[in-house]
Amino acid sequence: MDKIRIITVLCILGLASLALSGCTTFNNFKEAFIDKPSSQSQTISIGVYEPMNGEDKEGAKAELAGIELAHEMMPEADGLEVNLIYADNSSDIAAAETAINTLLAKEPEVVLGSYGSIYSLVAGEYVAEAETPAIAITNTNPLVTRNNSYYFRVCYIDATQGRLLAQYLDSTGEKKTGVLLPEKDDAATAMTTAFVDEFKKLTEDDDAITYYEKYTTGDTDFTEHLKALKKSKVKSVLLPGEYTDAANIIKQASEMGLDVTFLGTMKWGGSDFLKAITTDENGEPTYIVDSEKLAFVQFFAAKGGKDTATISKTRKAFLDAYHQKYGQSEEPDEAVALGFDAYGIAIDAVLRASKETGEELPSGEAIRDVLMSDGYEFDGASGVIRFNKRGDPKKTAYISTWAKGTIKAIYTIDADQQ
């Protein structure tokens, strides 16, 4: 218990925004919430709607790790115990419908999840009907929050990632670029369209995209595409498709000696991508990552980046707790940080709504209204998070790379710059 209390204090130093005002000090927050004796008359229930079985189980682990780490650090709030209620959607659309309805029947204050946009889409109509706010963690499909005032997210949609990469590329002074796009991939197409439009606008050049090729997802031989890339003489190219395809393209480009910077999605920040890009099918090393030749979107930066004191302090508190639990040599995937922040936002919104309504456990509508209110912001491990009227975040973003097996931020884009 002493260890948990120590970690809790570290966390709250970084989560000062859980106080009911952006300028509330840590001491005021501690006096109001941490020092308040537990009434135990009611509990704050947070629903955890995730695939805990099936093919998406592995993908959900990082989100769950972040949620559970935050809960260990803040098991109580405002004198009330916080209770996690789990619902397993089993990586199956039919099971997802049953899971979300079973979860909502238990009347959680907020629902977190799910990994996999399709399962959040299944849940959407039900959380809206129940008037229970939900927060997606790594869903990039814009339909999750569209026309649903009860669904929020803490990561950017695909199109926003495209715009962020275009802003980064423009900052490097590049005036021409290219795209290697998978056919029949809606997410990749959305990201590409936004990237192309933004880069043309920033460069004021309608001919700024001088290389534009398509391929079929799952292709293994990209020789002809890369020959065309070399001929185009561009020094950068967007790879918005699946990370396995991107890894094959990058390795083959390296073998051909192409001097090109590759731009990619948030999925490039996962350990699976690093393994795919540095080893062959037998797990043998094949490619040394050049930190100047990869750039991808991230919403959390363990190392590097431009920081304000507040963001740095918050991130440090999260990392200290993570390292204490998992070891100093382990670095969290960004989904862990995003899951951590989703939990923090859920508790923060409940507390703010409670103060505004005078109810110990406010209604879902009141919690939703707090999240959608003008001026709402949450200082989390992944940066300062605000929501627009669609429930999508406007927050600090990072362009990162892999350097010696570790992710490092190389460019920071503040929310007000986007």
Ranges 33-37, 230-234, 270-274, most confident: 230-234
pLDDT of residue 295: 96
Is the predicted pLDDT of residue 352 greater than 60, yes or no? yes
Q: How far is CA 31 from CA 34, 43, 66, 362, in A?
A: 6, 20, 26, 21
Mean per-residue pLDDT of the chain: 87
Average pLDDT, integer, range 135-164: 96
Listed in sequence order, the DSSP H helices in 358-413 are 364-372
What is the share, in percent, of the chain residues with pLDDT greater than 70? 86
In this structure, of 22-36, 294-308, 321-335, the range with the lowest mean pLDDT score is 22-36
What is the share, in percent, of the chain residues with pLDDT greater than 90? 70
Please state the separation of Cα 104 from the chain's center in Å. 24
- SS3 letters for 147-201? CCCCEEECCCCHHHHHHHHHHHHHHCCCCCEEEEEECCCHHHHHHHHHHHHHHHH
pLDDT of residue 291: 61
Q: How far is the C-alpha of 361 from the C-alpha of 353, rounded, in Å?
A: 8
Is the predicted pLDDT of residue 418 greater than 90, yes or no? no
Q: How far is the C-alpha of 344 from the C-alpha of 63, rounded, in Å?
A: 13
Q: pLDDT tens, 358-386?
A: 999 999 999 999 999 998 999 899 888 99
Average pLDDT, integer, range 346-353: 97
Strands 151-153 and 80-88: unpaired
Is the predicted pLDDT of residue 5 greater than 80, yes or no? no
- Label residue 8 by pLDDT band (50, 70, 90): very low
pLDDT of residue 278: 86
Average pLDDT, integer, range 114-125: 97
Helix (H) or strand (E) holding 252: helix 243-255
pLDDT of residue 36: 53
Average pLDDT, integer, range 248-271: 92
Average pLDDT, integer, range 198-226: 97
- Label residue 3 by pLDDT band (50, 70, 90): very low
Average pLDDT, integer, range 334-347: 96
Specify the CATH number of the domain 159-298: 3.40.50.2300
Residues of the chain with CATH 3.40.50.2300: 2-156+306-395, 159-298
pLDDT of residue 35: 43
Average pLDDT, integer, range 69-93: 96
Average pLDDT, integer, range 305-313: 54
Please state the separation of Cα 62 from the chain's center in Å. 11
Is the predicted pLDDT of residue 67 greater than 60, yes or no? yes
Query: When comparing pLDDT for 281 and 144, which is higher?
Result: 144
Q: How far is CA 412 from CA 83, 157, 383, 387, 392, in A?
A: 36, 18, 11, 19, 19
CATH number among 3.90.600.10, 3.40.30.10, 3.40.50.2300, 3.40.630.10, domain 2-156+306-395: 3.40.50.2300
pLDDT of residue 395: 87
